[in-house]
Chains A and B, each alone.
Chain A
Amino acid sequence: MDFMVFQYPMITVQACLDGILLGILFALIAYGMALQWGVMNIINIAQGDLVILGGYIAYFMYLYGIHPAWGVIVSPIIMYFVGVGIYKLVINKVVDRDLFISILATFGISILFMQLMNFAFGADVVLANSGYGTTFLFDSAVVLPNSKIFSAFVSIVFAIGLVIYMKKSKLGRAIRATAQNARAAKILGVDTEKVYAATFGLNAALCGVAGALISITFTIHPYMGLPYTIRSFMIVIVAGLGNLPGVAMSGMGLGVFEEFADYILGTEFRIGSVFLLLVLILVYRRFKLSRKREYLK
């Protein structure tokens, strides 16, 4: 164990800032998860793999000499169609079935994507270099890559944009109506099938944005998808469905937690601590609810 954190207070500041910037990205992915969970009642295990796929799109633009930041525009457009395609092929057959069936089906999609990406892009850890430089704060004691600040900013812009879109546009209203009561929405003339497809596409597009940002700020690798799924699941269950400020706050909290786990326990336990935290949160909520003789639904 490393107690650097307590000896050098600047590391605490560094970890907090890193964690918050990272957490904003997590919150964006979790927003997509909350969207499809709320509307279609599906937990998409392949969420993280969609993120990684979006990252590879940005990475390829970088390889062909286009600045990877444009991936933030291109990647969601491609990913939207990927999402709609997945919906048409698989999800629409499991959408009204048992939840475990949909978990297993998306788990299959996740394995499929993981392996196809491994074939197509190779098993190397890659990074799209944005060349944005770094910002130094407090006499260079805190180092922040500008790409992280950029990615947090873009995430916020996209999240706000989506909130406004959901409030104002016709499709947004249809999505919210379907989430409230699919049957009633159908009676009132909403084509729920189309709404579901659009929801899944929007979710995939959000994943695409997040993936492009991750490829700039961090690294991507075909097998790194599952931790992103678990993180977004965790954020959603902590915040609750349809609680956007909660999603943002718990995303940042998770980011800070991870940075501290990284410093204190060591990098090799980082992913493990995320998964353990999920188990602990679920168990904590289970005991809290069981006092009222209720259970997580």
Chain B
Amino acid sequence: MNKNVLLYSAILIFGLAAPFVFPAFKVQLSILCVLIVLAITWNIQGGEMGYNTFGNILFYGLGMYLCASVQVGMFFPLAEWTESGGEKTFVHTPTQFFQGMAAGLVVAAIVPTIVAGLIGYAILGLRGHYFAICTLGLGVAAGEISGGIEIIGAGQGFTTPPFPNVGGLEARGEFFYFLSFGALVLTFIAVRAIYSTRFRLILNAIRDNEDKAEAMGIETMKYKIIGWMVSAFFCGLAGGIMGGLVGYIDSTDVAFDGREMGVFMVLMAILGGKGTLWGPIIGATVFHIFKEGFWTFFLGWQYVALGVLIVVIVIYFPEGIMGWLREKYPERFGEVVDEADRKAQVELK
């Protein structure tokens, strides 16, 4: 327990000090926070519940569009804003900007949760690969359809309100960093609290054998929907922040980007280790560092690298970093190990 408090406070202090220690990496660190949030939310679904989804990008994109729309629509006519393509005919005052952002984030978190609740009953009745392909279709359909809707910018995209001119040049980066770090802390606390209850055990029971879980009297559908709603809540929140951070929303390249962000979520969670609390966090961090390296040094080849990376991780490393550590140092994970038995297993291999 004492060790944990020390660890958490060290991470918290590092998180709070990071933008001042590494001022050049503020945007990168903010993106890292968003990525970690996404990996954690995917893990609730794919790791704990065993419902491997490609469709959480739906909530992410929805949150992104909703946050920006509310932020603009609270003060100006939305259609004219998107038509002008972000020309500076309307300018948010600082108060309007922050009020709009706050309201936008609330909407961006709540509405995807409701959407998840509504479609959950229909979609979560599917299993295995049908569920995976169905959610893949859902994400792509959302991208294609939102690309045809005029009021949110259709094909030409949606420029989010620019950051108001307060507190100097560094203020924008710091604002978005602390916003995304706050979201990460909130997500972590919430997920940790959830994982320490019976709810996690129920999710794991659904993953391991849904029919048996149902036979034991668990209302699996109810818990599956709740799990998806929790996931959607934080996904939408992360999307809203990311929209403001990027400053420009496009239907298929930024918001419903199943080819990038939709795969990243899955990959980060698998790389770190599915079904663990810390796995997605480690995975996202490693992945982000790796990705930034690749994106910088192999510009143009990044998607080739991404494709190879997916194949390699999935084939040779499906247990992830946490799974590997667990196999190597089982004592650290509180497992009782019989030395003789372990030696015998090694010899067998």
Is B132 part of the contact surface with A, judged by Cβ < 8 Å? yes
B133 near A233 with CB under 8 A, answer: yes
Contact A282 B130 (CB under 8 A): yes
What is the 8 Å Cβ interface bit string for chain A, positions 79-111, against chain B (1 contact, 0 not)? 000000000001001100101110111011111
**In the complex the two chains form, is A283's CB within 8 Å of B303's CB?**
no
Distance in Å: Cβ of B238 to nearest Cβ of chain A: 22
Q: Check A230 for interface membership: any CB of B closer than 8 A.
A: yes
- Chain A residues with Cβ below 8 Å from B270 are 104
Q: How far is the CB of A150 from chain B (nearest CB, A)?
A: 30
Whether the pair A116, B137 counts as a contact (CB closer than 8 A) is: no
Q: A101-B314, A272-B145, A275-B144 are in contact. Are A109 and B307 (CB under 8 A)?
A: yes
CB 8 Å contact bits of B123-136 with A (1 = contact, 0 = none): 10111111011101
Report if A43 contacts B (CB, 8 A). Answer: yes
* A36 nearest CB across to chain B (Å): 13
- Shortest C-beta distance, A262 to chain B (Å), equals 13
Asked if A296 is at the interface of the complex by the 8 Å CB criterion, the answer is: yes
Q: A111-B259, A295-B126 are in contact. Are A279 and B141 (CB under 8 A)?
A: yes
Report the separation of the CA atoms of residues A94 and B130 in the bound assembly, to the nearest whole angstrom: 18
Q: Point out the residues of chain A lying under 8 angstroms from B303, CB to CB.
A: 111-112, 114-115
Interface members, chain B 275-334 (any A CB < 8 Å): 300-301, 303-304, 306-311, 314-315, 318
Pair B148/A111 contact, Cβ less than 8 Å: no
Cβ of A226 within 8 Å of any chain B Cβ, yes or no, is yes
Bin chain B's interface residue count. Answer: 35 or more
A99 contacts across to B, CB distance below 8 A: 128-129, 132
Q: Which residues of B contact A105 (CB under 8 A)?
A: 310-311, 314-315
Residues of chain A from 233 to 289 with CB closer than 8 A to chain B in the complex: 233, 237, 266, 268-269, 271-272, 275-276, 278-279, 282-283, 286-287
**Is there a chain B Cβ closer than 8 Å to A290's Cβ?**
yes
Given A90-B315, A107-B263: A272 in contact with B144 (beta carbons within 8 A): yes
Closest to B309 in A: A108
Residues of B within 8 A of A (CB): 52, 122-123, 125-130, 132-134, 136-138, 140-141, 143-145, 147-148, 155, 259, 263, 266, 270, 300-301, 303-304, 306-311, 314-315, 318
